[in-house]
Structures are given as C-alpha cells and as structure tokens.
A = this chain, B = another copy of it.
Amino acid sequence: MADKVAFLGLGIMGRPMSANLVKAGFALTVWNRTPDRAESFAAEHPGVRVASSPLDAAADADLVITMVVDAPDVEQVLFGARGAAESLREGALVVDMSTIAPTASRQIGERLGAQGIGFLDAPVTGSRPKAEDGTLTIMVGGEAAHFARAKPVLEALGALVVHVGPQGHGSMVKLINNTVAAANALAVAEALVLARTSGVDPAALRRVMSAGSGGSAMLELKAEPMLAHDFEPLFKLDHMLKDVRHCLEEAEALGVDLRVGSVTAERYGEAAQEGLGNCDFAAVVSVVEGPASAEVPTKKT
C-alpha cells in the first residue's frame, strides 16, 4: 500500500523525478504552473492524474512533493490561492525538494505543523542526468518519523538519501554543498584561464589535477564545458548564484566569515550581470577570461 503522491512542479528536475515515481509504482497526481507540461507528461505516462491546482492535487494525497525554484514559489503552491494546504488532511506529509533558505524551510514547517501536517526539507544535488537515472543525492531535514515515512518515495529518486538533522538542516547542507561546488568550479575556471594564458596545455593540467590534490567533482564535470564554452544549462548560473547568496546570508547571521564564498558570489554575480544567468554555471569562466573571452564563440541555450 504505497502512498498516493502529488508532485507539484514539472521543471528540468521535476519531470524526470515524477517519471521515476511512476516507474516505482506510486499512484501519482501531477500539477505544473503551465498546464501544458503536466498534460504532456500524463500523455506519456498512462494512469497519472493531472490536477487543475495544488489544492486539487493535494486533495487525495498522502504525500505532496514540491519541486519549484525558491521559497516564494513553495509558499505560493502551499498557501496561495487554491494552494495545497487548503485540501491537505491532518497527518499528510509535505516534502519540499526545492532549494530554499533554511529559515524559510523552518517557517513553512511551522505553518504546516499548526495544521497537523508534517514537513521535510529535502533538497537534492545532481543535475538532470541524475534526476533521470534516479541517482540524486537527497539531504533531508525534519522529524525521524516523517523521514521514515518519506524514505521509500525518496529512494525511488535518489541513490543516497541522508537524514541530516532537524527541520531546515537539509536546506543548510544543500546550500553549503552548492557554495563549495560553485567555489571549486570558479577555482577550476581560474586554473584553466591561467593555463591557457601562460601557454600550458589545459589537457595536461587536467590530467595532473585529476590525479592529485587539485581534483574535484567540478574539475571532472565542468573543465570540458568551460574549455569548449559549451554552456547548455544542466544547472543554471542564476540558480547557483541564488544558493551561494542564501548560504552567505545564513553564514552572516551566524557570524561565520566565508571569504571564498564571498568572492564566489561576486564572480557569479558579475557573470549574471553580463547576461549569462540562464547559461550553465560553467559560464563563470567567461568573467575570469575577461573581455578577451569575446574571441571564443559562446554557445548559449
């Protein structure tokens, strides 16, 4: 008797995640702000119900997943007009898999808690390919009992599902991870630009760095697109910038001085101002290259 699941938000990530829930046998209702995407998804996946609103989607659900962009979007689908919270019954569980600020997560959790509805913040790492393969990493904050209940659903979506602590801590871990990833990617960009400028073969540099202390997931994933200026978005620069800024806000509130985090926000901010916000975050290499990078043709998508 698998839970009935409602999935709200069929974007780059939400759509393949929903497909994996269907594959795992969950009874699924979907809703998307632009209805076309929900209709086309249901057309490809017989048995999936398309809801006309979050309220409609949540009406018969045991578990509601939200996968949208930021806190205001989560609040809108839960508490806005025809929001899910209107129809959710006591004892239901909301799992927010968007990446939002820990403070916002905790506020949403309190508001739902007052209605007797459980809440987990369960953001993910891994871009579209891992969403497709069901191999995301999912970091979950909230009560242990809620985590236990959501686990079978989350395991259909991720290869590593970790309960990291109480409410808000899933978001916190996600923000920290992404800030480190953004910083590591920027360090790779600086390395590649300096190599090219000094006449060092970037391929030899990569080989050496991969084998040793300079190695990172970002080197493996982003060096190639950076060198080729292939910025087709697996994870948009604007979204990365948002996460780094949220992380800095949390750090500032706690009195922790993230010096690398700050220059990371600075550089991604410059890239966004240059109109690269919808590119993959690998596009940060362009601001490191400086005006000279205009020579390299940029593939925007």
Verify if A125 is at the interface (C-beta below 8 Å from B): yes
Interface size class of A (residues with CB under 8 A): 35 or more
A176 and B204 CA atoms in complex are apart in Å by 12
Residue of B nearest to A102 (CB): B198
With a cutoff of 8 Å between Cβ atoms, the chain B residues found around residue A188 in the complex are: 180
| Shortest distance between the CB of A139 and any CB in chain B (Å) | 5
What 0/1 readout, one digit per residue, does chain A (227-257) give for beta carbons within 8 Å of chain B? 0000000000000000000010011001111
Contact yes or no, A201 B250, CB < 8 A: no
A197 contact from B181, B204, B256, B267, Cβ within 8 A:
B256
Contact yes or no, A217 B217, CB < 8 A: no
| Shortest distance between the CB of A99 and any CB in chain B (Å) | 12
Contact yes or no, B179 A191, CB < 8 A: yes
| Shortest distance between the CB of A8 and any CB in chain B (Å) | 24
With a cutoff of 8 Å between Cβ atoms, the chain B residues found around residue A256 in the complex are: 190, 193-194, 197, 288
Q: Which residues of A from 118 to 166 have beta carbons under 8 Å from B?
A: 125-126, 137, 139, 159-160, 162-165
Which one of A14-22, A62-70, A205-213 is at the interface?
A205-213
Contact yes or no, B200 A176, CB < 8 A: yes
A194 and B209 CA atoms in complex are apart in Å by 27
Query: With A216-B215, A251-B194, A258-B194 in contact, do A172 and B200 touch (Cβ < 8 Å)?
Result: yes
A184 contact from B178, B214, B259, Cβ within 8 A:
B214
| Shortest distance between the CB of A184 and any CB in chain B (Å) | 6
Verify if A275 is at the interface (C-beta below 8 Å from B): no
Verify if A296 is at the interface (C-beta below 8 Å from B): no
Contact yes or no, A164 B260, CB < 8 A: no
A197 and B165 CA atoms in complex are apart in Å by 14
Verify if A218 is at the interface (C-beta below 8 Å from B): yes
Query: With A188-B180, A217-B214 in contact, do A194 and B254 touch (Cβ < 8 Å)?
Result: yes
A84 and B183 CA atoms in complex are apart in Å by 44
A254 contact from B179, B197, B201, B208, Cβ within 8 A:
B197
Verify if A187 is at the interface (C-beta below 8 Å from B): yes
Contact yes or no, A169 B199, CB < 8 A: yes
- Of all A-B residue pairs in the complex, the 9 with the closest CB atoms, nearest first, are A216-B216, A181-B213, A125-B212, A177-B214, A164-B204, A180-B214, A215-B217, A183-B187, A259-B263
